[in-house]
Chain A
């Protein structure tokens, strides 16, 4: 949905700039707009979801000098079925589907998984998570 909204605004912007100024100026604005739109989309997913790291930091800060014990930190995240929530989100976004044997990747999941696999190889990173 966000992509459609940004796409429509981009078309309007290109049309307006194309009529008002040189086409090279339009390209300059398209580049800036495109990058900022992508930044907003990735930032929105950060707002929408719940980052376990931020949950931990906020909980530690709430305790201040009393501190948060490791057990409490474990309970804080364990009480949420993080794996279950993430699997639901992946299914909702059509990146995985449930077969008779278990979860399988959809073509979209393969594409995204492949992209991140390449990134991991290039950047020499482990599986993370």
Chain B
């Protein structure tokens, strides 16, 4: 691969793909009520990936790239696009679910007065934590509720939980005993 212009396009493709992903997601969030929904994140990520593939393919066609160049460019750019997408998903997920980010927002809103631990607890007690999470898990079809009972439904969070537990074991990190019961 000799054209430096083509190389620059290949390099910029994952960044442009991520810009498309974010732009679509921002428009989606402003236009619909399903804000930060898992499906919207996946849909916008796929749009960004498609743009990245088109840009990379166009640049490779233009400079008559060899098979090795095609394999190398697609491997690197796919890894970058998935990495960008994962970082973006983590950012959105933190905004929606992180208690630590919520605490920072509450303290910041209170300004120089600060906030005591009890005031924070009153504002957001453990029951709220559970209720909000159950609603989200139901919306994401990971659990279903019949009456007062919750039952397993989806496989995505369960698989993630199992993978994380395995990684914790490999990395010798403590596992909360309650989860094992």
Contact = CB atoms under 8 A, between A and B. Distances in A.
Task: Report whether chain A binds chain B.
Answer: yes
Interface residues of B, number: 82
A67 B87 CA distance: 34
Interface residues of A, number: 75
Contact of A83 (B7, B99, B158): B99
Interface string B147-181: 01111100001101100110110010100101101
B161 to A, nearest CB: 4
A62 interface: yes
A3 B95 CA distance: 22
Nearest to B127: A74
Given A24-B4, A83-B99, A103-B116, A122 B26 contact: yes
Contacts of B71: none
User: Taking each of A51, A60, A64, which has the highest tally of chain B beta carbons within 10 Å of its own beta carbon?
Assistant: A60
A40 B73 CA distance: 22
B129 A38 contact: no
B128 to A, nearest CB: 8
Contacts of A67: 146, 149-151
Interface of B: 4, 7-8, 10-11, 14-15, 25-26, 29-30, 35-36, 76-77, 79-80, 82-84, 86-87, 90-92, 94-108, 112-117, 119-121, 124-127, 129-130, 132-134, 136-137, 142-143, 146, 148-152, 157-158, 160-161, 164-165, 167-168, 171, 173, 176, 178-179, 181
